[in-house]
Structures are given as C-alpha cells and as structure tokens.
A and B are shown apart, each in its own frame.
Chain A
Amino acid sequence: MRVTATAIMLVAGFSSSVAAQSGATGDAARGAQIYQASCGSCHSINANRVGPAHRGVVGRRAGTMTGYNYSAALRASRIIWDARTIDRFLQDPQKMIPGTKMGFRLTDPSRRNDVIAYLRQQSRPVPK
C-alpha cells in the first residue's frame, strides 16, 4: 500500500512538473482570478508596485523590468522566466533565489499552473 501511495505521489509530482514546463494544463481564466487574489496586492500586469510589473514576464530575464528596484540577488540570478522557473520560484522563492525580496509562496501546483497560463497570455510589452 505504501508503495502504491509513493508511486501516486511520484506520478502526481511528475505530472505537475511536466505541466509546469509546458504550461499546457493551466486555465488562464482561472489563473487571472488567482493572480488578482493572490499576487494582486503586490503586483499588476502593467505597473511596478510593491513588486515589478508582469506583462511580458515569460521569456524575460529575471531582474530586468525597467524602473523596478530589484534585490541584488535577483538581478544576479541570470534566470530566464519560463513555466518551469516561474513554477519553482512560486513554490519557494527564497529557496530558489536566496536574497530575493519575495517571500510569498503559492503552494498549490494546480493554482501555480493556472497563474503561469495567465502570465503566458500577458506577453505584450508594458505600454509606455
């Protein structure tokens, strides 16, 4: 029974990882709601607030949003934001990039996938 449970957990973890890499299973509409409710106090798509603006974040190098005062750790991280790196960051940002100012964790994998799907939709650059 223990073996079965472990296998299920491994499969679930693998599925989550694959989903995060592809971003294929996320629901962008649901992600928009989760983004507003869970990320929206610090972030918005178009404006730098407590955290940096997120339009065009997928594919962007970490720490390069114009006009936002990043931590030195994030600026130096050399990370490119894609589904996999965003998924890892949202799980535990300070574990992935020690010294980042963000401490918020989105622990539910399906909610992370939905948020990533939403962010992938927001690909246009920030309006000047």
Chain B
Amino acid sequence: MTQMQQSRRNLMRLTGTGVLSAVAVGILGDAPALARSMGKGPGVTASQGDIDILNVALGLEHEAIEAYLIGAESGLLQKPVLDLALIFQGHHKGHRDALARAVHDLGGKAVEPKTRAAYVESLNVASLKNQNDILRLAQSHELGAANAYIGVMPSLGGKELAQVCAKIAADEASHWSLLTTALEQPIPATAFLFG
C-alpha cells in the first residue's frame, strides 16, 4: 500500500497542472488554422466525412469527461488518484473544445453530450465497486480512444486534421500509461502498444 501511495505521488509529480494549460491552449490554437488549412471558412460546409469523424471523436470526449466526473463523484477515488482523474478530465475538456470548434469552423454542427443516465448505462457504472474498478474503466477508455484516433487518421481529408488527432492520441496514450502504472500493471514488452 505504501508503495502504491508512493507510486501515485510520483504520478502526481509527473502530471503538473501546467501540462493541462499547455495542452489545451496548444490544441485550441490549432482549430481555426485547421479550418483555414482545409480551404474552408467559418460557415462553409467542408467535407462531411471529416465533420462526421470529428463528431465521433467529440462523442468519445463527451463520454470521457462524464466518466471521469462520475468517478470523481462516486466517493471511491482517493487523493491523489482523484486529482489525477480531474486533471485527465481537464485534458478531455480541452480536446472537446478543440474538436467542437473545428467542427464549427468546418461548417458542421458539433454533437452534444448524452444524458447522465445514458452514460451510466453504456459505461456499466453499476459494476464499479472500488477505485481500481474506476481506474480499469478509465484505462480501457484511454486505450480505446488512443487507438480510435490512430485508426481514423488515414480517413481524414487533411494532414493538419490528422496532426490534431495525433496530438490527442498522444494525450490518451499518456493517460493510459499513467493509469497502467497506478494499477501497478506491467507495460507490454512488445512494440506498437497502440494502433
């Protein structure tokens, strides 16, 4: 237990709040440039395929934000894991804002989050009994999200759009790594952990 607490303290030192602002500002700053790079101004319909892909990604970010909120409100997370969850939730809010702005700038309508009840059902929240259950859910979500962003990159219409997805995938991969460490699970020995 002491080793676990020490491990979490180390995690917290690795993930200062400054990381959030740098990531959020960096990606948010890309959104208008992204729309310009696609040759579309605000209000002009861009490739519907790209808008649809971004909206699917936005749906994932909405779900992640709610999942971390549910975890934080559950009373099952103890500091510093609770703080870590809130930092990760902040990252996902940054991703959400970047994606929603990009959808808007490309001429689309950003998808809205579902209801809490819908997320409670789809995430099978009833099965979460302790902190490790929540960490495993978050770990699984982050792995899936990283792979999803990597998997959609070849379908996107622009390199700049793919670069934004690559940045977000890197954040998700970082979350997965830290959650894996918090769960004291080994990092896979084989190459290509994602994708």
Contact = CB atoms under 8 A, between A and B. Distances in A.
Nearest to A108: B195
B148 A94 contact: no
Contacts, number: 68
Bin chain B's interface residue count. Answer: 20 to 34
Given A38-B151, A41-B147, A103 B60 contact: no
A50 B63 contact: yes
A39 B173 CA distance: 16
Given A44-B122, A103-B53, A104-B152, A50 B144 contact: no
B154 interface: yes
Nearest to A34: B147
B56 A42 contact: yes
Interface string B128-159: 00000000000011011101100110111000
A42 B145 CA distance: 8
Given A36-B140, A99-B48, A105-B154, A50 B56 contact: yes
A126 to B, nearest CB: 13
Contacts of B90: none
Interface string B152-187: 101110000000000000000000000000000000
A68 to B, nearest CB: 12
B89 interface: no
A27 interface: no
Closest 3 CB pairs of A and B: A41-B144, A103-B155, A103-B53
A19 interface: no
A70 to B, nearest CB: 12
Interface string A27-71: 000000000111111101001111100000000000000000001
Contacts of B122: 44, 47-49
Interface of B: 48-49, 52-53, 55-56, 59-60, 63, 121-122, 140-141, 143-145, 147-148, 151-152, 154-156
Interface residue SS majority, chain B: helix
Contacts of A106: 151
A41 B145 contact: yes
Contacts of A80: none
A37 B148 CA distance: 9
Nearest to A35: B144
Interface in A1-46: 36-42, 44
A101 B51 CA distance: 9
A71 B52 CA distance: 10
Given A103-B156, A104-B152, A105-B155, A38 B56 contact: no
